[in-house]
Amino acid sequence: MRRRVGTSLYTGLIFSVLGVIAWGSGQPFIFPSLGPTAFVLAFNRQSDRTQSYRVIGSHLIGGLAGLSAWVVVATGASITATSPLSVDGFRLAASATTSVMLTSWAMTATDTVHPPACATTLIVSLGLLSTPLRVSIIVGSVITLVLFHTIVLRISGQFINDSHSLDDES
């Protein structure tokens, strides 16, 4: 029970920073794939899965792969404006498939495997956040999330180390 509550509260804490930035800037600093990333960071706070280069690298790969696929295959199309059996819908399906393949290959090749990045690549390749500026915001959001997570871990680690030092002095 304690881990469930702690994970939930910590997920909300690290995610709230991006909510404030999104609210203050009016820019999409929060998007669907950040939820799973925040959860992974909160649940496995210091595991191989949460290493900064993996989390940031995977979302960078996902954003670039998604943007590349969208530009080559589906420029101008958005999943929110398609109809059944439309050409744009087909182009978006091809863009999404291509981006997931590229992201999966590149994450594996660079040892930056972080599954939520496959959601990032879909967000971009389906025409939802499909400009270089939006991809930069995505990557900036991930960097901010990881940086805040790292700061919290260091502060809490320092607090734990300081409390152990006090115990040793007793």
Residues 152 and 14: beta-carbon distance below 8 Å? yes
Mean pLDDT to the nearest integer, 130-148 = 97
Asked whether the beta carbons of 80 and 98 are under 8 A apart, the reply is: no
Is residue 103 a contact partner of residue 117, using CB atoms and an 8 Å limit?
yes
| Confidence check: pLDDT of 164 > 80 | no
Q: Could you count the other beta carbons within 10 Å of the beta carbon of residue 158?
A: 10
Average pLDDT over residues 136-150: 96
More confident residue, 165 or 133: 133
Question: What pLDDT is stored for residue 6 in this prediction?
Answer: 84
So where are the chain's domains?
2-158
Question: Vertex 9, ends 5 and 11: CA angle to 5°?
Answer: 115
pLDDT tens for each residue of 33-68: 999 999 999 987 666 666 899 999 999 999 999 999
Which tens digits make up the pLDDT trace of 73-107? Answer: 999 999 999 999 999 999 999 999 999 999 999 99
Count other Cβ atoms within 10 Å, centred on residue 91: 19
